[in-house]
Amino acid sequence: MRGRLLGATGTAAEAEPTPSGSSGAVTTRSGTIQSVIHATSARDTSTGRVPDAALQVPPSNCQDIISGQYFDQYAEDPDLLLTLEWEWTGKILCTGPAGSSLASAEVTYTTLWNDDGAVSSGPFAYCENCSLLNSFADWTCAAGPACGGYYWESAHMVMVDPPGYHWTNATGACSITTSDARVLTCDPITNVVYIPPALD
């Protein structure tokens, strides 16, 4: 199943499953899914306030990323699904002037979903005066063909600009949640990938 564009500022990308090896009567495949949201901040001229040069400077560009990789194993003759493993990451990554940072960043949750609902969630992560934050998670299903189905990932992330700055875009999966526009929340969602219970 092919991925689709999700929101004006976020893209979802999927790599076709690729066989990574065959050992005896087992075939292993892998694939990836991802969504990236881009955001920018600027001087808060809307209130007539000009930031003091001594104040903290925010990054000029930030990305909210939810990405994952799966590994599935199939028996041979018949080609039935044996196990499915997922690894995924929620990441806030910012770049800009040397020494710049967000006032704070938060990955509230990252969740793996399938046809039946939420499968597993990654841990809460938080930092202050930072430009990089990660939340890692993994999950394994050993229920054979019952592990098959449609899977995707989602996350909730919060980025806070330093005093005197505000976010200048909030489209697609992001929204500005405070009157001073310092707080930006984003909810990236990946495309959907199908894990067949059996190979053709």
Q: Give residue-wise pLDDT tens across range 141-171.
A: 999 999 999 999 999 999 998 888 888 776 6
144-164 burial: b if 16+ Cβ within 10 Å, else e? ebebbbebbbbbbbbbbbbeb
More confident residue, 171 or 97: 97
Q: How far apart are CA 179 and CA 116, in angstroms?
A: 38
pLDDT for position 148: 96
- Domain ranges (residues) in the chain: 10-42+59-195
Mean pLDDT of 38-58: 60
* pLDDT value at 115 more than 80: yes
